[in-house]
Structure 1
Amino acid sequence: MIHLYTYGWNNKLNQLKQDSAHKALFHGRVTIVHRTCYEVISENGMLQCELTGNMMFGKSDFELPCVGDWVIFQLFDENKGVIVDMLPRERILYRKKSGTIADKQAIASYVDKAFIVQSLDDNFNVRRAERFMVQILEEKIKPILVLNKADLGFEKQKIEEHIKHIAHQMPVFFTSIHQPQTIHQLRESISEGETVVFVGSSGVGKSSLVNTLCENSVLLTSDISLSTGKGRHTSTRREMVLMDDSGVLIDTPGIREFGLAIDDPDSLTEMLEISDYEESCRFKDCEHINEPGCAVLEAVNSGILDHKVYESYLKLRREAWHFCTSEHEKRKRDKSFSKLIEGVKKYKTNF
């Protein structure tokens, strides 16, 4: 029998299940999402599950189960089931869905910590780290920056200078699978029952880190490409694995584009260490672009605030504002459409 508390099950989740109309059925956690089915870990082991028609066709893509979701299922074979319900989500890591204005794509749910993995080679990009951090903090998930492949030659002082404005928001680990002490320190940051998701670009060593933390080859890895000198893309799906006597790890495919999907653009000033300057602006509604008496612009012009950080803030704020405005309009349209449908139903009932 598998003890699901090692996968994050707790009293709060148990109460949510008791409040469900399907409390008498089995429950489990989604570990892998395939195109048409789900792998679910339950007290009786791993099962292959499908969705009921109501769930499959009655929910948007974002509302369908993702890795990390807790689901309730009906068992119909020894290792097969049908998912009939999903417990309310918490701490969802998501991004703006590619090619859309305001649609979101769920990456994982019930996440406690997110490891933002970058490698200390050409992949290192502080702007990308900022982007991940902002979205992670928005969902009340704890971000941790993991700078991997520390066995490569790099200038640590220069790297620390680049990340000093975000290092206050999250712990930073320099790691290498060839330096056991660095992996031990990372392992110590994960507690039993915690869920940790790994995010980053292709080839930064996410899968290798997961394998090393688990002390077992639980995920496929690839060698460095001889033609490009960079790591090859390995993970093709989000996958959950369990560490011995510790937490749950979720590996994810490399992400080329990570669009922001946050509802409060104003939160960016605090996340990027700009809020201290903002408090001294002459106007409370200062946009920090060309207003007189703007303390943020003064800090940039005097060199106290890094100009690249300031430009990144403006870019992220524009993107966040565009998303939340589009999301607001989308909700208004959906609400109006729902009212229209209800009106049609009443009209048909009267006639």
Structure 2
Amino acid sequence: MNDLQYYGWTENLLKLKEVSDFNYLPHGRVTVSHKTRYEVVAEKGFFSCELTGNMLFGRDPSEYPCTGDWVIFQPIDNDKGVIMDMLPRRQTFFRLKSDAVSEKQVIAAYVNKAFIVQSLDDNFNVRRIERFMLQMAGEKIQPALVLTKSDLEYDKNETEAALRHLSTKMPVFYTSIHDANSIKALSEFIQPNETVVFAGSSGVGKSTLINALCGKEVFKTATISASTGKGRHTSTRREMALMKEGGILIDTPGIKVFGVTNDDTGLLIDLMDFSRFEGQCRFKDCQHIHEAGCAVIQAVDHGEIDHGVYENYLKLRKEAWHYNASVHEKRRRGKSFARMVNEVKKNSSKYR
């Protein structure tokens, strides 16, 4: 028997289940997703599940279950089942799907905290950190920056200066698997029954870090590449593991490109630390793009705001606007097509 409270089950989730048409069936949490097959942990064991036809063909792929989702399923035998329903998602970690303009790729659901993992070598990239933070803010996921390989030679003063506008908005952990105290500090930040997703590029040590936090090898890791000096990428799926202290950890494949979909200008302005200039612009509705008398643009010109931070602000705004405009156009076309189909059906019925 599994106690699902260790996997994050709560009274609020029970209330969500009660309104489902399938509330009489067992529930569980997706621990691993393989396209349209899912490994689910339930009270009576672990099940390999597939989707019912209504879920498979009646939903957009972005609405299929993902790692972290809570589902209701019909057991077939001791270790197989069919997913009949899914509880409404909360705190979803997703990104813009690669090579798409209006499609989201869901990475994990019911996420309390997200660790943005970067290594203190050539992988360190503040612009990428800003992207992750913006996306998480829209889903009320608490971010934390985890910098690995702190045993390497690096300029800490330079690193802290680059993170100055972000470090007041999230904790920053300098970690090394060779430093037990750094792992302990990270472990203490994870509360029992909290779900934490690890996100970052390949080779930064996400799986190694999870193994260290769990105190055993739960995910396989590769040796260091002789040609690049970096860890080889091993994670190919989103997978869940439990800490002894009760935290729920989700490993993810390396993310090369992280497209944003959050167009909340207020969140972006606060993230970039532009809010300290609030009320100083000439126009109340200043967007900080090209307006005359913009205090933010003046701060950039005077060196009070890093030029790279401001350039990324413009880039993120443009990307998010383009995504949402594409989604709106996609919906408009869908409605037009539906109206056309209904009109054809109506006209054809006249001649029957």
* TM-score (normalizing by structure 1): 0.96
Aligned partners of 2:62 and 2:271: how far apart in 1? 26
**1:226 corresponds to which letter in structure 2?**
A
How far did residue 349 of structure 1 move?
6.3
Match of 2:142 in 1: 142
Q: Does 1:180 align with 2:180?
A: yes
How far did residue 129 of structure 1 move?
0.7
Match of 2:210 in 1: 210
Q: Does 1:10 align with 2:10?
A: yes
Equivalent pairs: percent with the same residue? 57
How far did residue 330 of structure 1 move?
1.9
**2:306 corresponds to which letter in structure 1?**
D
Q: Does 1:297 align with 2:297?
A: yes
Match of 1:325 in 2: 325
- C-alpha offsets along residues 265-307 of structure 1, whole Å, 9 cap, x if unaligned? 4431111111222431101232323322110111111111111
Aligned partners of 1:75 and 1:305: how far apart in 2? 57
Match of 1:100 in 2: 100
User: CA 1:320–1:36 in structure 2 vs 1: closer, same or farther (change >3 Å)?
Assistant: closer
Match of 1:170 in 2: 170
8 Å Cα contact 1:265-1:320 kept in structure 2: no
Correspondence 1:265-276 to 2 at 5 A: 265-276=265-276
Corresponding residue SS for 1:196? strand
Unmatched runs of 5 consecutive residues or more in structure 2: none
8 Å Cα contact 2:25-2:73 kept in structure 1: yes
- C-alpha offsets along residues 154-179 of structure 1, whole Å, 9 cap, x if unaligned? 12111110001011211111111110
**2:295 corresponds to which letter in structure 1?**
A
Q: Does 1:312 align with 2:292?
A: no
How far did residue 345 of structure 1 move?
5.1
Q: Does 1:47 align with 2:38?
A: no
How far did residue 260 of structure 1 move?
0.5
**2:33 corresponds to which letter in structure 1?**
V
User: CA 1:43–1:268 in structure 2 vs 1: closer, same or farther (change >3 Å)?
Assistant: same
User: CA 1:348–1:6 in structure 2 vs 1: closer, same or farther (change >3 Å)?
Assistant: farther
Correspondence 1:239-254 to 2 at 5 A: 239-254=239-254
8 Å Cα contact 1:194-1:248 kept in structure 2: yes
Aligned partners of 1:348 and 1:110: how far apart in 2? 47
Correspondence 1:49-64 to 2 at 5 A: 49-64=49-64
Match of 2:31 in 1: 31
Aligned partners of 2:95 and 2:223: how far apart in 1? 29
Aligned partners of 1:341 and 1:91: how far apart in 2? 36
How far did residue 340 of structure 1 move?
3.8
Aligned partners of 1:141 and 1:167: how far apart in 2? 16
Aligned partners of 2:71 and 2:235: how far apart in 1? 24
Corresponding residue SS for 1:192? coil
How far did residue 347 of structure 1 move?
5.4
Q: Does 1:71 align with 2:71?
A: yes
Aligned partners of 1:236 and 1:195: how far apart in 2? 20
Aligned partners of 2:349 and 2:188: how far apart in 1? 63
Aligned partners of 1:327 and 1:152: how far apart in 2? 44
How far did residue 348 of structure 1 move?
5.9
How far did residue 343 of structure 1 move?
4.5
CA root-mean-square deviation: 1.5
How far did residue 341 of structure 1 move?
4.0
8 Å Cα contact 1:265-1:321 kept in structure 2: no
Match of 1:128 in 2: 128
Aligned partners of 2:258 and 2:217: how far apart in 1? 28
User: CA 1:340–1:87 in structure 2 vs 1: closer, same or farther (change >3 Å)?
Assistant: farther
Which range is displaced more, 275-284 or 313-322? 275-284
User: CA 1:310–1:88 in structure 2 vs 1: closer, same or farther (change >3 Å)?
Assistant: same
Corresponding residue SS for 1:255? coil
Aligned partners of 1:343 and 1:241: how far apart in 2? 52
Aligned partners of 2:117 and 2:204: how far apart in 1? 7
User: CA 1:292–1:105 in structure 2 vs 1: closer, same or farther (change >3 Å)?
Assistant: same
Unmatched runs of 5 consecutive residues or more in structure 1: none
- C-alpha offsets along residues 113-154 of structure 1, whole Å, 9 cap, x if unaligned? 000000011111111111111111111100000011111111
Aligned partners of 2:220 and 2:196: how far apart in 1? 19
User: CA 1:192–1:346 in structure 2 vs 1: closer, same or farther (change >3 Å)?
Assistant: farther
Correspondence 1:192-211 to 2 at 5 A: 192-211=192-211
**1:113 corresponds to which letter in structure 2?**
K
* TM-score (normalizing by structure 2): 0.96
8 Å Cα contact 2:261-2:320 kept in structure 1: yes
User: CA 1:329–1:123 in structure 2 vs 1: closer, same or farther (change >3 Å)?
Assistant: same
Which range is displaced more, 315-324 or 261-270? 261-270
**2:45 corresponds to which letter in structure 1?**
G
User: CA 1:63–1:224 in structure 2 vs 1: closer, same or farther (change >3 Å)?
Assistant: same
